[in-house]
Amino acid sequence: MGQENCSKAVALVVGATGMVGVAMVEALKQPTALGGPWKVYGAARRPLPSWFPSSFLDEYITFDALNFEDTHKSLLKISHEVTHVFWLALQVVEREEENIRLNSTMLDNVLRSLTSSNFTSLKHVTIQTGTKQYMGPIFDPSLATDKMIPHEAPFKEDYPRLPFPNFYYALEDLVASYAETNSFSFSIHRSSIIIGASSASVLNSLLTMCVYAVICKEKGFPFRYPGNRYTWEHFCDMSDARLLAEQQIWAGVTEKAKNQAFNCTNGDVFAWKSIWRLLCDMFELEFVEFEENGDEELFDIVEFMKDKGEIWEGVVEKHGLFRTRMEEITCYPALQTARRFQFQHVCSMNKSREFGFVGYADTLKRIRVWVQKLREMNIIP
């Protein structure tokens, strides 16, 4: 099938404690993993949380990727053996120009550290981005204009770039430049809304909704939908963390997939109404039908949740959960923005299938799996 035989496959997973990072290290250590057996290094800024499946790592490395000296020193001992980099790291702030600076600096420091020695084994780098590729800087209010019209759905990989700053574009250009100079290949993986299990992801929509559901259950609040009627009734898609890991491993060892960009979604679609019914079932909440009296009266979840941190701390204490602060594990502004789109958030998976990756996931079933996983990890009750 055009897959390489990596007799010494050594992976560096940068962002190993995030949703896809957790799924990635587990997928790489499976006996059936393509290109394996793999030696796996995991890396992130902070120490391993207690819930992390450290048995899937050969070694865990902590460093600040924004600091070149720290990055170079930390990667020096493994730079000669790493064959594949799986880039899952992410820093997000409100201003897109700052996102470009932060994320480009981190990737540049890692790639510079791995390629600066006289001997490098680097063969392939995967970069995980997302559907902001097709929508523009949707979270940056300084760039939001009436002219910022996203591409038509379903989003396709060959759509031209939009005329706005986007750190995804910057990462693509950076890895392409390094690949040309250092003779390795790369692949770009554009996710939709990711579902997975971690307390260390910047944009964890599922955990954000779970925390909201738990607080509603704890205090008897109605579980209201934080979006508009359009997303309540129209189609959307998601990306399962395990599926993202599998596609990136496939691209990393498949000749045909080199230097290509691929969407990666589950392959099915849903309306948010069905997700809301599912969450009500899993958290034993009464289903609340969508109500609106114009955009100015849509339920504002950002305003509603801004003073609920103490309630979450009480839930953590009451159930003996892994200690987290609500503000660190949720992303209500991003959740609300994405639930108020006026277009269908759906990607085409045709290119991925045509190139040979035919993985898929049942979104509703996988949400159940990940919620249960979050409970097993003692992140939610």
Annotated active-site residue in 132, 134, 178, 308: 132
Q: State the DSSP H helix or E strand holding residue 99, giving kind and residue range, or none if neither.
A: helix 96-115
Beta-bridge partners for 86: 13, 126
- Provide the pLDDT for residue 1: 45
Q: Is the pLDDT of residue 363 over 90?
A: yes
- Provide the pLDDT for residue 5: 45
* Domain 9-196+238-266+347-361 CATH class label: alpha beta
**pLDDT of 285-310, one tens digit each?**
999 999 866 555 899 999 999 999 99
Task: Round to whole Å and give the CA distance between 101 and 66.
Answer: 10
More confident residue, 144 or 151: 151
Size of the chain in residues: 381
- What is the largest distance, in Å, between two alpha-carbon atoms of the chain? 65
The mean pLDDT value of the chain amounts to 94
Is-catalytic flag, 308? no
Q: State the DSSP H helix or E strand holding residue 275, giving kind and residue range, or none if neither.
A: helix 272-282
Q: Report the pLDDT averaged over residues 195-215.
A: 97
pTM, 2 dp: 0.95
Domain ranges of the chain: 9-196+238-266+347-361, 205-235+270-338
Amino acid residing at 265: T
- Provide the pLDDT for residue 147: 55
**pLDDT of 55-112, one tens digit each?**
999 999 999 999 999 999 999 999 999 999 999 999 999 899 999 999 999 999 999 9
- Provide the pLDDT for residue 229: 95
Give start and end residues of each alpha helix (H) in 126-268: 132-135, 167-182, 205-219, 229-233, 241-253
Residue 145's nearest CA partner among 160, 165, 130, 122 is 165
Annotated active-site residue in 41, 60, 134, 168: 168
Task: Round to whole Å and give the CA distance between 100 and 168.
Answer: 8
Is-catalytic flag, 29? no
